[in-house]
Structure 1
Amino acid sequence: MSKFQNHNRRRATLLSLVALFFLLSLGACKSNESAPDSAQKDGAEAAAEAPKEEAKDDKKVVDAPPGDIYPGMNLGMLPDAKRATVVEITEAELCPCEDSTESLHACLQDADKACALAKQVANTVVRGVHAGAPKSEIQDVIAQFVTNAKKIHTFDLKGVPSKGNKEASVAIVEFADFQCPHCKVASGILDEISKEYGDKIVIYFKQFPLNAHNQSMSAAIATLAAHNQDKFWPMHDLVFENQRSLAADSYEKFAGRIGLNMAKFKTDLKSPMIAGAITRDRQEGEAAGLTGTPTLYINGRQYQGGIDKAAIIAAIEAELEAVKSAEAEKATE
């Protein structure tokens, strides 16, 4: 194998690790896993945990930083040399938080300054260093990660199931899988938020069935068949409520419970238009860099926080404030 091929292989491996750790830190289902019984730990805990095994030849560094140098993160289980490498990288990186002009290292030391994106970048650094990746490759991945996080994505929302005011200044696009337990949690939270914010926001649901879940595609088809009769959300709720017991005969039972025209429902279950809509949703998600569920986009930006009501509300409020400021600025021109 050539040096060039070896480099690309190592970088691809690191990218895969980063994607995996990012999903774990948010609490998400990835495309090659079975549905777990409980949610994953949040970003701070995920970053705090390094595998217990350490390389025996790691040498102590006299000036190694303390394990609690960053509030909310425990680097103490990393060897001294690797803790020093983490700090070396964070000192060289600019903090990705909005309007920040200081280093990632300085940002992470102040809990009030460290935004969700900064913490996710820190997770990436810690995991990359622990995996033994070269600093240059970790920095390449960070650059790509931050660019993707700040990019504004556009989605085709015509005919997509939604709740709320379609003219609202804040639009949330959710990509989800009906057998992903984290999606069920997110669904409940988003429903509460929708009721609280009313016409201030709109929530769109995009299908992203994962190959590892044997009923996720059938559930996606059934919910869109119900959508053809304006009953997407009742079907959506029933599917999530019965997530652990979904079977081939579940969907007709649900259809009966919500009063669907059964003949039309059965016909629509075989509709190529519905299959095509699911394919398009999945392609859009993949093009936006999505590798697991649930993934949220708030006004086109990928939400970087955990599946937590307070964190999602904070992101919505920040977006509402940004829209308000932009409108005020435009009015003064």
Structure 2
Amino acid sequence: MRRWKRNRKVALEFYECRESPPRQRNLCDYAPFMKRHLPFVTAGVVALTALAGPLLCQTMRPSRVTIPGDQAASAKRPAESVHIRGNSNATVTLEEFGDFECPSCKNLATFLDQMVKEYHPRVRLIFRNFPLPMHQHARDAALAAEAAGLQGRYWEMHDMLYREQPVWSSSNDVRTLFISYAETLGLDLHQFKSDMESDKVRGHIEFDQARAKSLGVETAPSLFVGKREMDANDRNPEGVRRLVDEAVKAKSSASEKK
């Protein structure tokens, strides 16, 4: 019980400082705090995410709730730029827009991985690159993930980038680190380095950014269940599960009526 109280205090303190004056802050400003208190922050976030509110790496903006169907379908998807985790034929699609250097994107990615496993085969996850200008190495990280994807190891690099985020996000030589990650994954390093500089890989990221723009996405992480964007009040495990359950039920009902 004592440990619970301590976790609760750290987690709430972590979120409350987001709105502290004198300047407008974003969640990523508190990465150093997160590193110092990581064991307690991690436990506190999992236990109290419903109280903590949205996990956003952004300058404070109003959130959107729904996306019209015609707007959501406006961007075409070349197959090679779509990264799917889970059953490719799942009835419910989670579409995530993430930044590899954003701590809250890392938290959400970990949770969504668990969700896809828990709801298999009914749910699939599509990840979209949305590197924020405020993050010095986010675009290079996205390039590394896409370059690994051309060798069939996108998700392995995706997971490694988030897992090693505290290391490379503060490095002065991220390219060398990313090449070492590629070596760990058994990639052809010559091809990997060449692909990171290629128009094809840059095109994948630009496509994802165009997709984000077509949906009105301005923050990371952003998440859609089907065509519906997560409301700030639902950006927690209970909220995501409720919306996924609703989507699965709706798909099942529609299928039964046919």
Q: TM-score, normalised by structure 1?
A: 0.56
Q: Residues 45-60 of structure 1: matches in 2 within 5 Å?
A: none
Partner of 1:328: 256
How many residues end up aligned between the 2 structures? 208
Give the match's secondary structure for 2:120: helix
Partner of 1:92: none
- Of 112, 120, 123, which aligns to 1:198? 120
Q: Write the deviation string for residues 115-145 of structure 1: whole angstroms up to 9, x where unpaired.
A: xxxxxxxxxxxx99xxxxxxxxxxxx9xxx7
- Of 65, 68, 71, which aligns to 1:151? 68
Counterpart of 1:36 in structure 2: which amino acid?
A: Y
- The 8 Å contact of residues 49 and 236 in structure 2, kept in 1 or not, is answered as no
Give the match's secondary structure for 1:179: coil
Counterpart of 2:175 in structure 1: which amino acid?
A: A
- Of 183, 186, 193, which aligns to 2:105? 183
How large is the Cα RMSD of the aligned pairs?
3.0
Partner of 2:138: 216
- Of 194, 212, 235, which aligns to 1:267? 194
Larger Rg over CA atoms = 1
| 1:227–1:45 CA distance, 2 compared to 1 (3 A) | closer
User: In the aligned structure 2, how far is the partner of 1:46 from the partner of 1:323?
Assistant: 28
Displacement of 1:31 after TM fit? 11
5+ unaligned residues in a row in structure 2: which ranges?
1-17, 35-40, 55-59, 169-173
Residue 165 of structure 2 is aligned to residue 243 of structure 1:
yes
- The 8 Å contact of residues 31 and 291 in structure 1, kept in 2 or not, is answered as no
Residue 159 of structure 2 is aligned to residue 231 of structure 1:
no
User: In the aligned structure 2, how far is the partner of 1:31 from the partner of 1:276?
Assistant: 31
- The 8 Å contact of residues 174 and 295 in structure 1, kept in 2 or not, is answered as yes
User: In the aligned structure 1, how far is the partner of 2:141 from the partner of 2:108?
Assistant: 17
Partner of 1:36: 30
Of the two structures, which has the highest relative contact order with CA contacts closer than 8 Å and spacing of 6 or more? 2
Q: Write the deviation string for residues 31-80 of structure 1: whole angstroms up to 9, x where unpaired.
A: 98855325899686669xxxxxxxxxxxxxxxxxxxxxxxxxxxxxxxxx
Displacement of 1:163 after TM fit? 1.0
Counterpart of 2:240 in structure 1: which amino acid?
A: I
Partner of 1:318: 246
User: In the aligned structure 2, how far is the partner of 1:253 from the partner of 1:193?
Assistant: 30
Q: Write the deviation string for residues 74-93 of structure 1: whole angstroms up to 9, x where unpaired.
A: xxxxxxxxxxxxxxxxxxxx
5+ unaligned residues in a row in structure 1: which ranges?
1-23, 48-126, 129-140
Counterpart of 1:271 in structure 2: which amino acid?
A: S
Q: TM-score, normalised by structure 2?
A: 0.71
Q: Specify which structure has the higher proportion of helix.
A: 2
